[in-house]
Amino acid sequence: MSDERPRPDRVWEPHRLKRWLQEPLLHFLLAGLALFVIYGALRDPSPTDNLERIELTADDVRRLEVAWAARWRRSPTQAELQGLIEEELRQEILYREALALGLDKGDTIVKRRLAQKMEFLSEDVAAIREPSAAELKTWFEEHKQQFANPPRANFRHVFFSFDRRGARTEEEARRALPRLASGRPASAAGPQAGDPFMFQDHYGDSTPEQVVSVFGTAFAAALFQLRPGSWQGPIESGYGWHLVRVDSLTPGRIPSFEEVELAVKSEWQAEQRAEARRKSYEALRDRYEIVVQRPELSEAAAKAVASVKEATR
């Protein structure tokens, strides 16, 4: 029999275990493990924790029913409701699979939609507070011009075409003015004096913006300076020259606060939402380091930019 003694590393030494249990590092690791287990047990599961489970709550189904009723003015049948549920499930499944494949990465439409949702969140915060009447009145006084009623003109015109008359257009329009002003009815003298116009010969209750859309800015500015009741002109437009008779002219005016109180409140709220969006974005932007690397302009682009700058001096 051999007289071999046990190797030291095989000897059971309780004092070593006691020393390990007293190590601060072991205490730290055990505490961290305990916190991880507790956190996992108590926290709410996120939508990505179990991608194979989709739950539609009673509130979800009720939302589908309400949306259907709002559109079709009746409650869905059981078959229709089941179809709505299947479509909701189909959308959720495809959505999750798309996220799993990373299809949301680099998608401009997804980015734009999520950015809009962030803006809606900031707007919701701004829409909570109701303005006081005094606050709205003060705001109205500072912005009353945007509520001004524009002037309106009721007028008719006789048209002289550049295409038909060329360089003689303005002169022939001037020669026709005395005939129109002679006292004969404008409806009788007008059409024979000029050329056919592609739009109307008479415009009733027209604002400057409406006149501009047809005749141009210069014509509209001249029209609203005319005295009602007589043929005057000629006034130039992009089509030719016009003799014009203003039958009536209603000057613009700024309404009282009481007349437009609802519109003032709506505009005030829109301004508050815009300001909330601006402040929210600025606060978020400050958290980022922005780096923009601009490409060098090509030779042709550089020449184009230089020519534009030279032309605008």
Q: What is the pLDDT of residues 111-134, one digit of tens each?
A: 888 787 777 776 665 556 788 889
How many helices (H) and strands (E) the chain has is answered by 13, 4
Q: Mind listing the pLDDT tens digit for each residue in 17-64?
A: 556 556 555 555 555 555 454 445 444 444 445 557 888 888 888 888
Greatest C-alpha distance within the chain:
150
- Quote the pLDDT of residue 27: 52
Name which residue leads in pLDDT, 14 or 76.
76
Q: Burial-class residue 25 by CB neighbours within 10 Å (0-12, 13-18, 19+).
A: exposed
Task: Count Cβ neighbours within 10 Å for each residue of 75-98 and write b for 16 or more, e otherwise.
Answer: ebeeeeeeebeeebeeeeeeeeee
Cα-flanking dihedrals φ and ψ of residue 226, to 5°? -80, 155
Kindly tell me if the per-residue pLDDT of 207 is higher than 80.
yes
- The domain ranges of the chain are 58-114, 115-147+255-292, 150-250
pLDDT band at residue 217, thresholds of 50, 70 and 90?
Answer: very high
Of 210, 237, 238, nearest to 222 by C-alpha is: 237
Three-class SS state of 165: helix
E strands along the chain, which residues? 152-161, 202-206, 231-236, 240-250
- CA 196 to chain centroid: 42
- Quote the pLDDT of residue 165: 87
- What is the torsional sign of CA 18, 22, 26, 32? positive
Minimum mean pLDDT among 18-27, 90-99, 217-226: which range? 18-27
- CA 310 to chain centroid: 35
Q: Burial-class residue 228 by CB neighbours within 10 Å (0-12, 13-18, 19+).
A: middle
Reading the block at residue 91, the tokens are 């959308």
Would you say 128 and 165 are in contact if contact means Cβ atoms under 8 Å apart? no
Name which residue leads in pLDDT, 192 or 298.
298
Average pLDDT over residues 266-293: 80
Location of structure tokens 């000029």 = 194
pTM beyond 0.95: the answer is: no
Give me the chain's average pLDDT, please.
78
Average pLDDT over residues 165-173: 88
Location of structure tokens 């006149």 = 211
Identify the top-confidence range among 41-55, 103-117, 206-220: 206-220
How is the beta sheet containing 240-250 ordered, strand by strand?
Answer: 202-206, 152-161, 240-250, 231-236
pLDDT band at residue 287, thresholds of 50, 70 and 90?
Answer: confident
Kindly tell me if the per-residue pLDDT of 73 is higher than 80.
yes
Reading the block at residue 174, the tokens are 């001037």
Q: Give start and end residues of each alpha helix (H) in 50-168.
A: 58-72, 78-100, 108-126, 133-143, 162-165
Assign a CATH topology to domain 150-250: Chitinase A; domain 3 (3.10.50)
- What is the torsional sign of CA 18, 22, 26, 30? positive
Name which residue leads in pLDDT, 301 or 38.
301
Cα-flanking dihedrals φ and ψ of residue 18, to 5°? -60, -40
Q: Mind listing the pLDDT tens digit for each residue in 231-265?
A: 998 999 989 999 999 999 998 999 999 888 889 98
